[in-house]
Structure formats: structure tokens, C-alpha cells
Chain A
Amino acid sequence: MPGDRLEGPLTHRPLESTDKATDEAWLVEQAKRDPEAFGQLYDIYFGKIYAYIYRKAGDRQAAEDLTSETFMKALANIQHYKYTGQPFVAWLYRIAANVVTDYFRARRPTAPLDEGLQLPATGIGPEEAALRMDDQQAVARAIQTLSPDQQDVILLRFSGGLRLKEIAQTIGKTEGAVKALMFRALGGLRGKLTESGVRP
């Protein structure tokens, strides 16, 4: 029975409970006492967290420092993590957001985002590739002009893949507030992208 899935000690749960959320929940529980399980979580989420931080911080060195800090804090606090149905990555994003906020309290980014942007490997031609790179750089710059909250809703939705409700829980706002932030962010981006000569 599906309802039986989460009963019993975590290490003794039936192996058929392999849907993604359940897998993640018990992997996180394992990670509270097993370094290798924490390593698996790191392998899964490193890319998402690094991308979020890089796009907010704006340079590679800062992104590496802040990513290190984020995962070290996650390790230090994972004992207190309780699974509530939210994806684990939302918890990591919350730590990352706080780390980035602390960083910006002390300094501003100095390097452009261009060096870290990457084209998808889809076999496109050089002209199309150049156009897409222009788009990426323009989008990256436009996002940097948004307020921190607006940046969060854009990045958590489009880069992090979180749902609006999950974003709301991650940044501590209501879903309605997140929708309003999203709408204003899209409007702001539209203006900046138009100024940059990028479609739309």
C-alpha cells in the first residue's frame, strides 16, 4: 500500500518505494549520519546551487567561495532538516540565498557574467550560437538589474525548476506575493531586454 511506504526505520523501508520524493527523503535521512549519502546529495545538487549563486554573484571566484559556504552550512545543519514534502533543493536554495545576501552586504560584484555562460550542445551553427550567446549575456545582465527578491523568483523558477508554491516557501513569502514579484520581474526584464536590442 502506498501509505505504508514511509513506515519503519529509514534503513529498513521496503525497496519498492523508489519514487523520486521518497528516494530523496530517505537519502537526506541517510545523509544525516552517512558522509557518502551527503556526498550523493552534493553530486545531485551542486550544479543547481552553483548556477544560482553564479548568476546572482556575477563572478566565478565569488560563486566558488559562496558555493563552498553554502554546502558547508548545509552539512553543519542537516541534522536539523526535516522533510516536509518540499524538495530538498529548496532548503539548499534558502541557505544559498542567505549566503549571497550576506555577501552583498559587504561588497558588490565586480566581474561580468560573460565568462561563465555556456551554449547548449544542440549542433547549432556559429551564427545562431553567437545570437544565443548574446541572448544569454543580455538576460544575465538584465537579471542583475532586478531587485534581490525578483532575481530569486526568476532564478528559482527558470533555473532551479521550483514551482511557485515552493518558491514562496523558500523565500518566506506568500504565493500571491511571489506571483506579483514574478509579474513585475518579467516586466522589468522586458524593458531591459528591449533596451539591449534582444527579442522580444
Chain B
Amino acid sequence: MTKAQDIREVIQEQSVASGERRALEQVTDLLDETLAVDVPHRPEFKAQLRRQLMAEARRTMAPWYRRPAFMYSSVAVAAAAAVLAVGLNMWPATNPVPTVPGGPTPTLTAEKPSTGNADVRKVGREDLPNFALPDQKLLPGEPGPATLAGLNLNGVAVYQLSSRPDNAQFSRIAQGMDFSRPPETTANGFRVTEGARTLTMSGEGYVIFEDKAAGSPKDQPVVLDETAVRQAAQAFLVRAALPVPGLEPAIFEGARENFKHIYTVIYTPAVGGLPVVNARTVIRMTDRYRVFSLEAYAQTGEQVSGNYAVTAPTEAIAKARERGGGIFTQADLGYARTPNDQAIYLQPVWRVFGTGSRGERLVRFVPALAPR
């Protein structure tokens, strides 16, 4: 079919002279070419608006732990009871705590993950929330698909997190980040603000930190190498009592307003050797080792809820292709973090790799559990 065929038909329907028709078709082609191009936006605006929307959404949408008691399942009640009785354990730092030149000294030691304090039962497929994830652009240097060798596609584990994050965990994170004020409870989680620094955590464990006054652009920048940035990021996570994902982070350099150099560190957590695709930790720091932005998930330990067959990778690739918008050729397996009212699950998801219509490297996500 010709490009913009519907518009050509509109032009044709008007029965104009052939010369004018050709001219209008050329206008159509020009519009097709020029208006398909993205309008650039300020990434910090997009991120800021997202945070505002999330805060508003959490304020207006009733969170799981504030709903009437009759809505709780026995699982959630048991999990809450276990949290009250035992308290939460933190995810371990799987890597050694580095020393950062000129940076903060880690003060927290790693603790073991939660191992059975909460009531994690075998779940049926009907318990698992459906999910859809938007396509993700692969950043330069990010690896392509991993091998499927050794995976048993007839018995892939589904995990359930052992409990929801709570005030005690939030307080620990806040203390690690040197907040001295007591946290306040909000409609959907917890928040603490001191000066230009704000830390929030949702009931699903989504942690956001922002320091609007981080660093002074008048200071001489320090030229950092990748190792120093990685060590600084890891030290920050450990100090903040947040999980340090086991996989190597991707590190990018850029510029931001007054700073010539800023560094972005993206960690992808892994469970059972597979990446959790929508629970990435993103840390942004200045060239003075100051973290000015953090997005992370406070995990609370995961336990196997059952083992299930997954669809074939060829089927996932076919489904990715059906949606159009690129060429998709390879797939590997990961996990998607999928909360619902009762629990937070890690479900298998196919990561289908391809190339978008503008040549960008894309990953498209296709839920992987096979039909019953």
C-alpha cells in the first residue's frame, strides 16, 4: 500500500486536476516525512511531570493497605502480621562495599534476605495480575539477548515478594540517606523532606529520591572514570539500605543545566539469573559524586510461588511482530514485577529484541506464561 493511502484517496475523491492532485500528494509526502519526527522535550520536565502524576495518582487512588479490611486476602493479612511480628529484613548487597575517593563511607552492613517470614503460598494463574509493559529503547552498550540454553521452559519459577515495604523499611532508607526528621505517612506510602532533599516510597516499594541542591556548579569538576562512578553509585545504595542488583550497571555520561558532566547509572536486578525488566535502579550523580536523583525498588525478598510452563520464544517473537513498528528477531526470558492488591509477583516475560522504524534498538515485552 502506498504511504498515506487514505489521504491520497481523499485527494482522489475531490476529483481535482491531475497537476493539483500531484502537488497535494507531494504535500502529503512532505507532511508524512516532517511530522513523523519526534519533537524533542526536556527529559527533566518529563521526569518531573511523571513524579507529579505519580504523587497525585497515589493520593487519589486508594492504596492496598488502606482499603477496608474485608478486601484483604488471607495472604495479605498473614503477610502484614508477619511484618508486624518479625520486622523486615533487607535485600543483601551482593557486591563488596567499595571505598569511594572523596565520597561517603558506607555505614550499613548487608543483611540477609527475608526467608519465609511471610505466608507465601502456591499461586494459581488466576491469582497473577495481567500486565503490559511499554517498549524500551536499548541504550548504547546495553547487551542484546542472553542465551536460552539451560532454561527449562516447562518449569519457570513465579516468585512472590515475601512482604510489602513498610514504615520501618522506609525509616531505615531515610536514615541511610541522612534524613533526621521522622517520615510522614502519605496516601500511598511515606515521605520525608529536608531542605531541597525529598525521599518518597510507595506501598509497592517504589523509591524516589531527589536533591535539588546537589553539588555546586562553581566547584571544579572532577574527571570521573566508569569505575569511580560505579563505586560511588554502589556505595550510595548500600548506605541507603537499598538493594544492589547483581548485574553490572550500564553507565552513561551527559550534561545537565549547570553541570558539564553528569553520570547516570542503571542497574537491572536479576532473580534466578533472569533480569527483572521493570524494576531498574537509576542513579544520577554530578561530577562531584553527589547523587541528585534516584529511582529504585525496595525489595523485600522473594520466594517461589510455583513453576509454570512458558510459551515458545518463536511465539513471543510472532506476537511482538503482530504489533508492528519494527523488526523483531530474537527473544530471551526475564521477569516482570507485577503488583496487585494482595501481593507483588515476579512473572516471566519474553524480552523480544528488534529494531524500530528509525533504526533504534528496541526491546518489546510479551507475557510468557503459557495458557493452561
A residues sitting closer than 8 Å to B (CB atoms) are 10-16, 18-20, 23-24, 26-27, 30, 32-36, 38-40, 42-44, 46-47, 50-51, 54-55, 60, 63-64, 67-68, 71-72, 75-76, 116-122, 132, 135-136, 139, 154-155, 157-159, 163-164, 179, 182-183, 186-187, 189-190, 193, 198-200
Contact = CB atoms under 8 A, between A and B. Distances in A.
A35 B129 contact: no
A34 B61 contact: yes
Contacts of B32: 158
B28 to A, nearest CB: 7
B323 to A, nearest CB: 5
Given A15-B130, A43-B134, A50 B41 contact: yes
B50 A159 contact: no
Contact of B319 (A18, A32, A50): A18
B143 interface: no
Interface stretch (B3-11, B79-87, B168-176, B224-232): B3-11
A136 B53 CA distance: 32
Given A19-B322, A39-B54, A75-B56, A27 B49 contact: no
Contact of B371 (A10, A15, A23, A132): A15
B132 A64 contact: no
Interface residues of B, number: 65
A179 B30 contact: no
B34 interface: yes
Interface stretch (B19-27, B115-123, B285-293, B298-306): B19-27
Contact of A24 (B27, B62, B132): B132
Contact of B31 (A16, A23, A117, A139): A139
Contacts, number: 168
A42 B358 CA distance: 22
Contacts of A30: 129-131
B30 A193 contact: yes
Interface string B67-83: 00000000000000000
A35 B61 contact: yes
| Secondary structure of the A contact surface, majority rule | helix
A68 B49 CA distance: 6
Contacts of A190: 23-24, 27
B28 A120 contact: no
Contact of A38 (B57, B202, B324): B57
B222 interface: no
The 10 closest A-B pairs by CB, nearest first: A200-B26, A35-B57, A158-B35, A51-B39, A23-B132, A159-B35, A15-B367, A158-B31, A44-B134, A27-B132
Given A182-B7, A187-B24, A75 B35 contact: no
26 contacts: A12-B130, A15-B128, A19-B322, A30-B129, A35-B188, A40-B132, A40-B134, A46-B46, A50-B39, A50-B41, A51-B38, A54-B41, A64-B49, A71-B49, A71-B53, A72-B53, A72-B56, A118-B37, A136-B34, A139-B34, A158-B4, A163-B6, A183-B10, A189-B27, A189-B31, A199-B26
Contact of B58 (A18, A35, A40, A44): A35
Contact of B130 (A26, A36, A64, A199): A26
Contacts of B322: 19-20
Contacts of A42: 49-50, 53
Nearest to A139: B34
A11 B64 CA distance: 15
A84 to B, nearest CB: 19
B366 interface: yes
B2 interface: no
B13 interface: yes
A42 B56 CA distance: 13
Given A18-B319, A35-B54, A119 B49 contact: no
B36 A158 contact: yes
Contacts of B26: 199-200
A175 to B, nearest CB: 10
Contacts of A135: 30, 33-34
B44 to A, nearest CB: 10
